[in-house]
């Protein structure tokens, strides 16, 4: 949270001719308000996390933590947290790679070709997200035990990939759709093959968007609890590990557990934000 924006520095860009200073202030005010809307609840979670159990239960609550780290240190020293964290990162990374490898070609095909079964495929992809996953866990677990994928990083990543795939397909589809086909055609007339044209022209343009959908995949995997709780036992992921305990934990530990879950996701989004935003560079082609 060290990144403080300075409202005064938020300047209005674009055609500002004839825009009064009042407009600028309103604009800045709205942006700051929306930032607060996102940040305040997270700040409150932090307050609860960094308060002693007595303070978490006190009324009225103070808006400032007393920086008591008992709950957090309990979690960090909790047997198995480190291992679960590592499992989570591994599963989420494999999920990210798999969902892009499987999703992006499909997104490209949907945006560039008309073929029989196109709309069927699109609906099929969406159906995946429209059916409650917890019900699918039992048949999947049986299948896994029989083929030996049970309790493995790869096995869980495969299920998470299925969950993330619709996002990957749809996001890449809309990205490719947004790139004029003329660009590709121009490359072909200059003697590029389809593959070369894709590599040299299209790929650099969609890279940021692909990064965005990779992040989705990572986050989906990171936050998925139910399949993780059923399909892994000794290689539990962090959310499965924590959330199994969270719903029965006393309040102060619930908040600490929530924070332990939220913080890595925040850090991850922060790390990849450059990719998320490098699209600004390409917007000015």
Contacts of another protein in 108-147 (CB under 8 A): 108-109, 112-113, 115, 118-119, 121-132, 134-146
CB 137 within 8 A of CB 226: yes
Q: Which of 50, 156, 175, 217 binds another protein (CB under 8 A)?
A: 175
Q: Tell me the closest approach of the beta carbon of residue 20 to another protein, in angstroms.
A: 14
Determine, following the binding rule CB under 8 A, whether residue 13 of this chain makes contact with another protein: yes
Region 205-224 residues binding another protein, contact defined as CB under 8 A: 205, 208-209, 212, 215-216, 219, 222-223
How many whole angstroms separate alpha carbon 29 and alpha carbon 21?
A: 12
Task: Establish if 249 lies at the interface with another protein (CB under 8 A).
Answer: yes
**65 near 53, Cβ under 8 Å?**
no
Least Å distance, CB 71 to another protein, is: 10
Subset of 16-55 contacting another protein (CB under 8 A): 27, 30-31, 34-35, 37-39, 41-42, 44-45, 48, 53-54
Any contact of residue 152 with another protein (CB under 8 A)? no
Tokens matching residue 220: 């989906």
Stretch that binds another protein, among 83-91, 196-204, 237-245 (CB under 8 A): 237-245
- In this structure, are residues 264 and 222 in contact, taking their beta carbons and an 8 Å threshold? yes
Peptide bond into 161 cis (omega under 30): no
**Cβ distance 11 to 21 under 8 Å?**
no
Asked if 189 is part of the footprint of another protein (rule: CB under 8 A), the reply reads no
Residue 43, burial from CB neighbour count under 10 angstroms (0-12, 13-18, 19+): middle
């Amino acid at each position: 949270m060290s990144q403080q924006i300075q409202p005064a520095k938020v300047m209005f860009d674009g055609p500002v001719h004839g825009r009064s200073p009042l407009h600028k202030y309103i604009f800045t005010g709205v942006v700051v308000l929306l930032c607060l809307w996102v940040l305040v609840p997270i700040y409150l979670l932090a307050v609860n996390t960094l308060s002693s159990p007595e303070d978490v239960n006190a009324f009225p609550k103070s808006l400032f933590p007393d920086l008591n780290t008992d709950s957090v240190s309990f979690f960090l020293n909790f047997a198995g947290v480190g291992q679960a964290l590592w499992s989570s990162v591994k599963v989420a990374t494999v999920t990210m790679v798999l969902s892009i490898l499987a999703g992006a070609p499909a997104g490209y095909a949907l945006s560039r070709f008309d073929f029989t079964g196109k709309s069927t495929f699109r609906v099929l992809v969406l159906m995946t997200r429209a059916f409650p996953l917890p019900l699918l866990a039992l048949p999947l677990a049986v299948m896994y035990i029989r083929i030996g994928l049970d309790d493995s990083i790869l096995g869980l990543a495969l299920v998470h990939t299925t969950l993330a795939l619709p996002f990957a397909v749809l996001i890449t589809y809309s990205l490719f759709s947004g790139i004029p086909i003329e660009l590709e055609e121009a490359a072909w007339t200059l003697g590029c093959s389809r593959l070369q044209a894709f590599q040299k022209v299209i790929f650099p343009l969609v890279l940021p968007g692909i990064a965005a959908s990779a992040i989705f995949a990572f986050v989906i995997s990171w936050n998925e609890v139910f399949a993780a709780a059923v399909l892994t036992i000794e290689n539990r992921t962090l959310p499965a590990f924590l959330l199994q305990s969270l719903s029965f934990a006393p309040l102060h530990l619930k908040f600490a557990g929530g924070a332990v879950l939220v913080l890595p996701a925040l850090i991850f989004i922060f790390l990849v934000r450059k990719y998320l935003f490098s699209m600004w560079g390409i917007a000015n082609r």
